[in-house]
Every structure is written in structure tokens, then in C-alpha cells.
Amino acid sequence: MQNAWIISIGTELTLGQSVDTNAVWLARRLAEIGHRCDRHITAPDDLEPLVDTLRQAAAQADAVVVSGGLGPTDDDLTRVALARVAGVELAPDARSLAQIRAFFERRGRAMPERNAVQALLPRGAQAIENTCGSAPGVLLRLERALVFALPGVPFEMKRMFDRDVAPRLSADSHGDVLLSRRLNCIGKGESDIGELLADLMRRGANPEVGTTAELGTIGVRINAAGETRAIAEARLEKTEAEARRRLGALVFGRDEETLADAVGALLHARGTTLATAESCTGGLIGKLLTDTPGSSAYFKGAVVAYANEAKVELLGVDPAALRQHGAVSPEVAEQMACGARRRLGADFALSATGIAGPGGGTAAKPVGLVYIGLADGAGVQARELRYGADAPREAIRLRAANTALNLLRLRLLG
């Protein structure tokens, strides 16, 4: 595959004041047309870093896509930097100037004189027409690299990439295609999963397999390259099948599929329903379940019983159990699950009660202690989870919610 670099220009990006959404979009589109993004560099609106970055890219990349720095103001330096690296002068391009004037006329305005600088091109470069903005793009070769400079405004950049850049790069890519897939796993840590897949994760293999830890879930990425889409697809599928064989029930979904989606699909397929009784998760399990469109088919509802009275009043938890064992106990988790199942008329119910912190922990019941309950027609069980007392509230809550959903998933899988 060809090796591409993405360069994003803007001080608002380097200072973290705006989030760069162009780079992710470009990297995915480049992969689809056979260019693997190997570096993404964000540089501020200053000439020296820009020239320095372009010089490196010129020496190391086959293709470079620059976004930003093509505006009409003094801090727009992409044209100047390209000319500097190419060792040529900037000269006005008559056709671009006419297009910029026409762009303003369509909006009923005369072109401000300042915008004339946008029609300057390094000698020998070609303009890339911008039909929805005032900044034309620039195409030129710098040493090894074919360089495309596009505006930073996302919809202008995307339009120009798809219309002019992609066809040009596809022709250059000698046919190679990169396809990707992610298997979403839960139930073991990253190193255990890495061990199960060790030989598939050899460096330089095709497909390439790698793991990423999220909060309580592990993503297994598979990237397959091939001379054609069909070849890449066949490689991807073979490796996916092998990974799934080894990982078994650890895999709950693919690509964007969430754990709640997976649980929902199982409930739906079996014609069964679910309710939740939430204390420390505060509605998070219900929120995750109802992120899935159509979840009303299997999700009856939740009782978020944050206060003890609510546990008694709405879930029928025995006040004596609360006094004797405390709200954070296996007994109360079980009673909460049973109560939600009965009150909401569901086949299954999940409950969660615990100490999400940062306050409220004791030696016997530290922050990070959570009990999960699962009730069905056959009975109820509780499970104890312990996350470090140092884990942030958000992580404890999300891990507890994911563990509860996974408990039900495994039950549904039998």
C-alpha cells in the first residue's frame, strides 16, 4: 500500500481549543482507496513548523493531504510554506481568481480585495476548484510526495477530496485496499486476550491484529490489505473467523455494536423482556439499553432507587435487610432485582448497588465495591465486584453497568 501523511494546520488545533474531525475522516477514506495513513501531524499557524513538517512529509510520504491555512488572512500560511519547500515563487492563477470572484457574486457580494491572495499558487502547482467556498486547493509534487492542500472547513474539504483527490489517488494506489474490522470483547483483560491471539498479532503480518483497552471492554482490530477489495475481504474474514473461534463468548459485537445492542438482540430474538433496578449506576444501564433504537420491544423500564426509601417503596426491599446488611450488600442487590422484575413485569431484571465514590467508602465497604443482581423465573443471584478505590466514579459506574449487561448476556447464551 501507499503511505500517506495527513497534516492539519491551525493554532486552535494545537492548543486544543477545537477538535480536529478532518483527520479521522481523511484517514478512513484514504485507507479505503489504498493509502495507509502513517502519520498525522498538527502544526500551528506559523511558517517554520509548517515548512519543517512539509519537508519531512516530502521525503517520507507517497501522498500528503494538508487541511487548513488557505484562508485570506495573515495567519493562513499554507500557500507560502508550499512555495518555500518547492523553492519557487507564488504567482496569481487567473482561473482561480475568476472562480473566487464568481463565488462572491453568487452571494450578491463583490470579492473583498483581501481574498485575491487565495488565487496565488506556487509556480508549477495546479489549483483544485472549491465550489462551496472561497479557498481553492493546491496540488503539487514535492520530492517523493504528491501533495494536496485543501481548506480546513470540513464540508468544503470533504467535497474536494471526494471529487478531485480520491480519483487521483485511487489511480496511483496500484489497486491496494485496506479493510478494517473491530471485534468488541468483554470478560478478560487485554493481556489474556493478547495471549489467545499471540501468533495472529505478529508484527508485519497481513492481516494485522491489535488490541485496545476501553473501560471494561477490549477491542480487537483486524486490518487486512489486499490487491483488490475481494482479496482483502477474504483475508479479513478468515482472520475474523479464527479470532472468533479462539475468543468464543468473549466477543459480544463487531465495529460499532455495543454490549447493550448485543443484549438487546438476544432478548429480542428470544421474545423476552428486561427491567433494571439501579442504585449506584443511577440510570446508566437504562440509558445504555435505550441508546438502541427499538429497545422498547424488550426493555420494560428501570427503577433508579438512589434513596433507601425508594428501594423500599418502589422495589419492595425489606427495611430489615437494609438495616442489617446495608444498601450495598448482596442481599439488597438480590431484593432489588426481584422487585424490579415483579413490579415491571419483566422476564429478567438486573440490579446494581455500590459505592461509586469519591466519598462514602469505609474499610469494610470501600469505594469501588459493587453488587450486581440478576433475577429470572428460576431465582436470583448476586455477584460482588471490586474496582480499585482510586478508580474514577465514571469508570466504576460504566464498568459495573457493562459487567451487569455481560452477566445477562452470558445467561441468555446459556
What residues numbered 91-120 form the site for its own copies, per CB under 8 A? 103, 106-108, 112, 114-115
C-alpha span between 74 and 96 (Å, rounded): 19
Could you say which residues in the range 294-353 bind its own copies, by CB under 8 A? 294-296, 299-307, 309-310, 313-314, 343-345
Residues found in the chain: 414
Query: Binding residue for its own copies (CB under 8 A) from 1, 2, 42, 161?
Result: 42
Could you say which residues in the range 55-94 bind its own copies, by CB under 8 A? 56, 71-75
Distance of CA 362 to the CA centre of its chain: 37
Looking only at the bridges linking them, the beta strands covering 208-213 and 218-226 are antiparallel
CB of 220 to its own copies, least distance (A): 11
CB of 249 to its own copies, least distance (A): 19
C-alpha span between 144 and 164 (Å, rounded): 20
Could you say which residues in the range 231-270 bind its own copies, by CB under 8 A? none
Judged by CB under 8 A, does residue 271 bind its own copies? no
Distance of CA 217 to the CA centre of its chain: 13
CB of 159 to its own copies, least distance (A): 8
In order of 332, 353, 371, 385, the CA distances from 326 in angstroms are 8, 10, 12, 16
In order of 231, 354, 366, 368, 390, the CA distances from 358 in angstroms are 52, 12, 10, 9, 8
Residue with the three cell numbers 423476552: 272
Could you say which residues in the range 168-227 bind its own copies, by CB under 8 A? 178, 180, 182, 189-192, 194-195, 198, 201-203, 208, 210-213, 215, 219, 221, 223
Query: Binding residue for its own copies (CB under 8 A) from 37, 150, 247, 328?
Result: 37
C-alpha span between 355 and 45 (Å, rounded): 47
Distance of CA 358 to the CA centre of its chain: 28
Judged by CB under 8 A, does residue 392 bind its own copies? yes
Asked whether the beta carbons of 312 and 322 are under 8 A apart, the reply is: yes
C-alpha span between 207 and 236 (Å, rounded): 7
CB of 333 to its own copies, least distance (A): 16
Could you say which residues in the range 14-33 bind its own copies, by CB under 8 A? 14-19, 23-28, 31
Q: Is the CB of 140 or the CB of 351 nearer to its own copies? A: 351
C-alpha span between 203 and 183 (Å, rounded): 19
Residue 34, phi then psi, degrees to nearest 5: 85, 15
Judged by CB under 8 A, does residue 144 bind its own copies? no
CB of 109 to its own copies, least distance (A): 8
Residue with the three cell numbers 423500564: 301
Q: Is the CB of 140 or the CB of 350 nearer to its own copies? A: 350
CB of 49 to its own copies, least distance (A): 6
Residue 231, phi then psi, degrees to nearest 5: -65, -45
Judged by CB under 8 A, does residue 137 bind its own copies? no
CB of 203 to its own copies, least distance (A): 6
Q: Which stretch binds its own copies (CB under 8 A): 236-244, 264-272, 317-325, 382-390?
A: 382-390
Judged by CB under 8 A, does residue 39 bind its own copies? yes
* DSSP designation for 392: -
Q: How many Cα atoms occupy the beta-carbon half-sphere of 283 within 13 Å?
A: 3
Q: Is the CB of 253 or the CB of 286 nearer to its own copies? A: 286
CB of 124 to its own copies, least distance (A): 27
CB of 187 to its own copies, least distance (A): 13
Judged by CB under 8 A, does residue 13 bind its own copies? yes
C-alpha span between 70 and 78 (Å, rounded): 6
Q: Which stretch binds its own copies (CB under 8 A): 83-91, 130-138, 233-241, 374-382?
A: 130-138
How many chain residues interact with its own copies (CB under 8 A)? 120
